[in-house]
């Protein structure tokens, strides 16, 4: 990989990590309402996806996708702070604060929004892909799905329908080993989700989701395959989330150490970049500049007003008004 | 029979009425819709060459091709998911869910997705899709092919529930549903498919959210839906001989419903009966009765009467099914009781 490409991805990963860490801090201080699921530890997977998806493509993010949402928003719209403001429930958020952490969308950034009924958009993605196919557009529709959602019937309905209709769908399966507390090998017939996908007969692959170079390359190949009209693609990212369960850490100590210290996507990329001759000071400056930008976004979110109360009853229907209290 | 407001289309004026079946009226609406909207497509099980379980999509596959009339496997969630996704990018999908009883299979897509994308993303998406489905009992379909499902969706903001009672409205309401930018659940009562009535040829729409006064009267208002409408009209004929004048309102859109027409009528008659086929608890009858009591209390001469299905699943055996489904006799007696109570 070119040094500059990797530097760009390194910077993207820092945007995600800085975003999530600042958000966690604000959440703990009680400034962010609701629930919080972070993408910490999964930065390489998200940065790799974001780097290949165009604004004219579509992605359905999952509950750990603040980072990719912010990256896409910043890249395609130049206002990543609106993702932050959405998480604070503010008027300046991408959905005027009506969606929050689990439902931040901006179609102009290719972001079609999470559905917090985990994995439901495995069905929805088919329609976006079908529209591209019927209209003859070379767009990719991507569903970012956790290993847990593979238990849903929609997984099988979706892969089957995408296969029979040769739809331009990218299934980006983020296998981080657990669904809340359920280990992937205990919840599914195979700990390798690719084994379940293979039966549908379309292209499938796996990648180390913490290795940004490998992930970036494989996402690129998958998207190219789809754009060329070759139908759906299933790509499984093997990764790990820093966040345990609500009660805290439940995973074996050695596993935690491996993923957090020995297989951290940012540290790994940092080493590669240094081996390419990039100065450590430059890498530190990249981190710092992303952290600074995120602090500006936090300030923007905090200073933004709450939504006008009329928003509570707005947009229930297109053709009917709902009366306020 | 209905006062379906017909919006004239200068390009294709509606021609004079012809006796047409409910099924054919729906088929015409789909055909006209497919012609008018190049980005409309049909999707469902066996709707292609076979023309659908109830022949509503007959001949459309031959006319519009397999890309726009799409046969699917038994994947109700994927069918509705496909509709939502396509609608989010501006297409106009019309799904057929073979029996309304199967809507549980795609309930999440309807309730959490179709009904909410416009709201939760604050207007950035719309979901202009239609879900047609065959509902209702009275033909020995048993517990999983006979249910009235409006109550399952009545409590869901964002969804439109349309329920025609006659062929002319079936056509006009379906075309209006296709044109609607809101997601529509379009209920087709199976017992109505073979009924016939005057249907204008060509394009017209019947407005959503507007009830029709199917028969004018002065002593009591009956608000009915789908198959209960012809039953209520027959009950009105029966009672006319006894000097009771019944006004029958065909609700046509169940959500959001036309409170104005109902309340005006009850203010005039002072008595009301609400009739629908679904189980009694928590259903449409409960909502309408509560609303009438709330807003017309001082006009009422008697409590609102209710005609519903019994609170049971639907049994297979024909006499048992008759026992639990409401009919003309139940409407007649509910009217009598309400009239007596108010004397
Ligand atoms: C349909 C559904 N079932 C259950 C939940 C509750 N829930 C939220 S996250 C989650 C686990 C998801 O696991 P996975 O897809 O592996 O994502 P991860 O959190 O590991 O990234 C569950 C069960 C939900 N939101 N939706
Ligand atoms: Mg997981």
What tokens does B257 get? Answer: 């419903």
- CB B147: neighbour CB atoms within 10 A? 24
Within 8 A of A107 by CB-CB distance, chain B residues are 88, 124-125
Q: Taking the model in full, what pTM does it have? A: 0.96
The model's pLDDT over A276-312, given as tens digits with 9 standing for 90+, comes to: 999 999 999 999 999 999 999 999 999 999 999 999 9
A169: confidence class by pLDDT, cuts 50, 70, 90:
very high
- Averaged pLDDT, A256-273: 97
Amino acid B342: pLDDT: 73
A248: confidence class by pLDDT, cuts 50, 70, 90:
confident
- Averaged pLDDT, B177-205: 97
The model's pLDDT over B294-338, given as tens digits with 9 standing for 90+, comes to: 999 999 999 999 999 999 999 999 999 999 999 999 999 999 999
Ligand 1 atom closest to the CA of A175, numbered from 1: 16
User: Which member of B39, B78, B91 has the closest CB to residue A126?
Assistant: B78
Per the model's pLDDT, the better-predicted residue between A2 and B343 turns out to be A2
- CATH H-level, domain A3-306: superfamily: Thiamin diphosphate (ThDP)-binding fold, Pyr/PP domains (3.40.50.970)
Task: Give the mutation candidate from B86, B91, B107, B182 for the A interface (greatest A CB count, under 10 A).
Answer: B86
User: Which member of B91, B108, B121 has the closest CB to residue A113?
Assistant: B121
Amino acid B10: pLDDT: 47
- Averaged pLDDT, A100-126: 96
Within 8 A of A90 by CB-CB distance, chain B residues are none
* Mean pLDDT, all residues of chain B: 95
User: What value of ipTM does the predicted structure carry?
Assistant: 0.97
Amino acid A302: pLDDT: 98
Q: Between chains, do A160 and B158 touch, taking CB under 8 Å as contact?
A: no
- Please check whether residue B243 touches A, CB under 8 A: no
How close B235 comes to chain A (CA, Å)?
Answer: 34
Instruction: Give backbone dihedrals phi and psi of B189, rounded to 5 degrees, phi first.
Output: -70, 125
The model's pLDDT over B51-94, given as tens digits with 9 standing for 90+, comes to: 999 999 999 999 999 999 999 999 999 999 999 999 999 999 99
Q: Which domains does chain B have, with CATH numbers?
A: 19-200 (3.40.50.970), 212-341 (3.40.50.920)
Amino acid B14: pLDDT: 64
Amino acid B13: pLDDT: 52
Q: Between chains, do A120 and B113 touch, taking CB under 8 Å as contact?
A: yes
The helix or strand, by DSSP H or E, that contains position B71, with its residue range, turns out to be strand B69-71
Task: Give the residue numbers of B marked as catalytic.
Answer: 145
The three-class DSSP label of residue A211 is: coil
The model's pLDDT over B63-72, given as tens digits with 9 standing for 90+, comes to: 999 999 999 9
A36, A65, A118: residue to mutate for ligand 1 pocket, most atoms within 8 A of CB: A118
Does position A124 have pLDDT exceeding 70, yes or no?
yes
Amino acid A190: pLDDT: 97
* Mean pLDDT, all residues of chain A: 97
Half-sphere exposure at residue A39, Cβ-oriented, CA atoms within 13 angstroms:
34
The model's pLDDT over A19-58, given as tens digits with 9 standing for 90+, comes to: 999 999 999 999 999 999 999 999 999 999 999 999 999 9
- Averaged pLDDT, A52-77: 98
Amino acid B1: pLDDT: 34
The model's pLDDT over A205-235, given as tens digits with 9 standing for 90+, comes to: 999 999 999 999 999 999 999 999 999 999 9
- Averaged pLDDT, B124-135: 98
- CB A177: neighbour CB atoms within 10 A? 17
- Ligand 1 pocket check for A117: Cβ under 6 Å: yes
User: Which member of A122, A131, A315 has the closest CB to residue B123?
Assistant: A315
Q: Between chains, do A317 and B160 touch, taking CB under 8 Å as contact?
A: yes
Over the range A21-56, which residues count as b (16 or more CB within 10 Å of their CB) and which as e? ebbbebbeeeebeeebbbbbbbbbbbbbbbbbbeee
Q: CB–CB of A38/A24 below 8 Å?
A: yes
The Cα A221–Cα A226 span in angstroms is 9
Q: CB–CB of A59/A110 below 8 Å?
A: yes
Q: What is the distance in angstroms between the CA of the first residue and the CA of the last residue of chain A?
A: 58
Residues of chain A that touch chain B, judged by Cβ-Cβ distance less than 8 Å: 58, 94-96, 98-99, 103, 105-107, 112-113, 115, 117, 120-131, 134, 141, 153-154, 157-158, 160-161, 164, 311, 314-320, 322
């Amino acid at each position: 990989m070119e040094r500059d490409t990797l530097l760009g991805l390194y910077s993207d990963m820092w945007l995600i990590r800085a975003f999530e860490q600042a958000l966690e801090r604000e959440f703990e201080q009680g400034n962010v309402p609701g629930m919080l699921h972070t993408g910490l530890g999964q930065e390489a997977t998200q940065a790799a996806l974001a780097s290949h998806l165009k604004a004219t493509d579509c992605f359905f993010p999952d509950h750990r996708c603040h980072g990719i949402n912010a990256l896409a928003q910043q890249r395609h719209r130049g206002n990543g702070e609106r993702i932050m403001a959405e998480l604070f429930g503010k008027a300046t958020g991408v959905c005027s604060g009506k969606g929050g952490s689990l439902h931040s969308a901006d179609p102009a950034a290719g972001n079609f929004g999470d559905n917090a009924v985990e994995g439901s958009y495995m069905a929805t993605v088919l329609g976006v892909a079908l529209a591209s196919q019927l209209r003859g557009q070379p767009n990719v529709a991507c569903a970012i799905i956790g290993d847990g959602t593979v238990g849903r019937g929609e997984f099988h309905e979706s892969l089957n329908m995408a296969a029979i209709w040769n739809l331009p769908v990218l299934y980006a399966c983020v296998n981080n080993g657990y669904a809340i507390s359920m280990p992937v090998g205990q919840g599914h017939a195979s700990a390798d989700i690719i084994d379940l996908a293979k039966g549908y007969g379309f292209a499938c692959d796996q990648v180390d989701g913490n290795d940004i170079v490998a992930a970036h390359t494989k996402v690129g190949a998958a998207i190219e395959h789809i754009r060329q009209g070759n139908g759906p693609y299933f790509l499984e990212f093997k990764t790990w989330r820093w966040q345990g369960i609500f009660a805290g850490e439940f995973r074996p100590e050695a596993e935690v150490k491996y993923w957090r210290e020995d297989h951290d996507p940012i540290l790994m990329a940092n080493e590669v970049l240094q081996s390419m001759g990039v100065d450590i000071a430059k890498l530190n400056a990249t981190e710092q500049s992303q952290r600074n930008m995120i602090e500006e976004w936090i300030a923007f979110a905090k200073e933004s007003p709450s939504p006008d109360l009329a928003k509570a009853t707005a947009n229930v229907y297109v053709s009917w008004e709902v009366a306020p209290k | 029979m209905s006062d379906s407001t017909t919006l004239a289309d200068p390009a294709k004026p509606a021609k004079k009425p012809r006796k047409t079946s409910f099924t054919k009226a729906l088929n015409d609406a789909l055909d006209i819709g497919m012609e008018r909207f190049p980005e409309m497509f049909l999707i469902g099980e066996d709707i292609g060459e076979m023309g659908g379980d109830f022949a509503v999509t007959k001949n459309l596959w031959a006319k519009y091709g397999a890309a726009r009339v799409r046969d699917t496997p038994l994947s109700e969630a994927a069918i509705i998911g496909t509709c939502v996704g396509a609608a989010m990018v501006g297409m106009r999908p019309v799904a057929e869910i073979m029996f309304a009883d199967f809507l549980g299979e795609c309930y999440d897509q309807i309730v959490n997705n179709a009904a909410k994308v416009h709201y939760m993303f604050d207007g950035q998406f719309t979901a202009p899709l239609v879900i047609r489905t065959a509902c209702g009992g009275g033909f020995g379909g048993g517990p999983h092919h006979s249910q009235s499902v409006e109550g399952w969706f009545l409590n869901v903001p964002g969804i439109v529930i349309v329920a025609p009672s006659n062929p002319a409205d079936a056509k006009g309401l379906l075309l209006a549903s296709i044109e609607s930018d809101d997601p529509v659940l379009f209920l087709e009562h199976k017992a109505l498919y073979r009924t016939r009535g005057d249907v204008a040829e060509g394009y017209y729409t019947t407005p959503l959210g507007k009830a029709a006064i199917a028969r004018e009267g002065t002593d009591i208002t009956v608000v009915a839906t789908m198959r209960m409408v012809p039953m209520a009209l027959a009950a009105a004929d029966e009672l006319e001989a006894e000097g009771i004048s019944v006004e029958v309102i065909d609700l046509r859109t169940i959500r959001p419903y036309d409170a104005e027409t109902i309340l005006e009528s009850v203010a005039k008659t002072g008595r009301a009966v609400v009739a629908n086929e679904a189980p009694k608890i928590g259903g449409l009858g409960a909502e309408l009765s509560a609303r009438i009591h709330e807003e017309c209390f001082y006009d009422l001469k008697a409590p609102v009467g209710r005609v519903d299905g019994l609170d049971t699943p639907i049994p297979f055996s024909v006499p048992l099914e008759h026992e639990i489904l409401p009919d003309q006799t139940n409407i007649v007696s509910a009217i009598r009781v309400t009239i007596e109570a108010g004397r």
